[in-house]
Structure 1
Amino acid sequence: MTPEPALSLADAVREATAVLAAAGVPSPKVDAELLAGHLLGVGPGRLRALALGDTPAPAGYAELVAERAQRTPLQHITGVAHFRYLELAVGPGVFIPRPETESVVQLVIDWLKDRAPSARPKIVDLGTGSGAIAGSIAHEVPGAEVHAVEFSEFAHAWAAKNLLPLGVHLVRGDLRDALPELNGSFDVVVSNPPYIPAEAVPNEPEVALHDPPEALYGGGADGMELPTAAAASAARLLVPGGYFVMEHAEVQAGWIAAMLERSGLWSQVATHLDLNGRERATSAVRKPDARSDERIGQ
């Protein structure tokens, strides 16, 4: 009996795209190509070139497509998340970084570039998760002293893989009381804390079933307990004139800006849009006050 000829790469990707589309995967063709490229060890451009010929589908491709059709995150299957210029190791137990957060990193880089607070600026990322923000700043700001804080044991382990090779000082701790020995010493505090309200279960199965709940829900009915705590820690950790930027949901922008204004600790409060035009982040500059002056003088 003559065996069936191997499916070509082009046909396999076409079939995989149909399978993923039927499963409701948001970007079926892209994901089908990325899974094939993962197995072949090639990028999208090379993959498409190979698909023009008679290259066979890679072994195990159907199994990976079936796993993705079950809405297992693509990054959990490949073990890699791409973020700005980094390839981050990710998997179960850590929040997968989103493209929208890249604009938060850019806000920090632009602020440092415009103001150059010191030859060796000192930055801390509160709730670093996989280390996407802290790692990108360490990679893109030469000479920066970057610290990162993560509470989750599992996320901390993933962050260690990603951040230690970049020279980031990673500690396991709670963003609410982290690094008291470094109060008043940071030029920048950045945070993408959990901020989803308690009852707002995400629609996407990849998020609802696979992102760790402690990385999603911000505490309290409105989800604002941890964002509020991140702002309080930022006020404690920053030098006078230091910069704070925090990611949040679009609907929370007005509340967060008002909260920062009401505290009396911040000036230049501003809301920033992401690449999709959504109010994704809020920044502010730490005002000088007697407490911070005394702390820095100690």
Structure 2
Amino acid sequence: MPYIAKENRFMLRQVVGAIALAVSCASLVPTSSAASPLPTAPRVSVPDAGELINETGRLRMLAERMGKAYAQLALKLMPDKAREQLIDSQKRFEENIALIGRGATKPITRAGLDTIVASYRSYAEALALPPTKANVAAAHRLTEKLVGEAENLAAAFEGHAQVPAARIVNISGRQRMLSQRMARLYFAAALGNGKGDVEQSRVEFRNRLITLETSPLTTPEIRREIDLAKTQWLFFEQALLGNGDPAGNLKNVATANERLLETMDKLTSLYSKDLHIILGSRPSAVVGG
């Protein structure tokens, strides 16, 4: 798909240099207010502990979402939507790198962020190639690497927060990532790039919903969102399990994962706000990791 390759190469030339600069000086400000399927949290000058865990965890999801959209393009499955998701996810990833850079003040988190930036450069180059079966397989190997690095950084921020509630923010954020991971692996299998371990992610997602539901941080507002997520999950899970027409399942996975993502994103933001209250933190008095 020459259009994708050309557009992503343009984005790579324009943005990667800016990302590296932003991470070095932690001063890049988002420049676009284009509509996105996911809400963008208000940006403060320095992120607090809850926001750092939330937004670092979002990097995991965005890496998976890019890989999912790339595989979806290879399948020629709702290609306009997939193209939009790929471009949007790259933009959001780059904005998050700049945001997290303002809070990664300790050597371990700064080093972790630098590693992510280097991996993302390689990932963006891979995603700029035509979405063939072989290129999707190669890109997905980089997805796994980038997600693992973001996982490590989120865990580092969680540890520095030093309150049990931080774990719930990270778990909820991981659920957000799993919604995209399951779709990515499902599409990779449809391309013939191996079955992928959808089952492991499926079981983890189901079990973690129970963890969130029983958490002391789960307010009535959060419980309503969990109930919505459970309903969305039932539909998504049926498609993942292959109950029905294969072509229909592909389309259902493509749509249901995005609905579930939106709900899990809202849940994670709600938990992040609760953590902010628990810590009694202010933008000028941050657990910087």
Higher Rg of the two aligned structures: 1
Higher RCO (CA-CA < 8 Å; seq separation 6+): 2
Establish whether TM, by shorter chain, passes 0.5. no
- What TM-score, normalized to structure 1? 0.33
- What TM-score, normalized to structure 2? 0.34
Higher strand share: 1
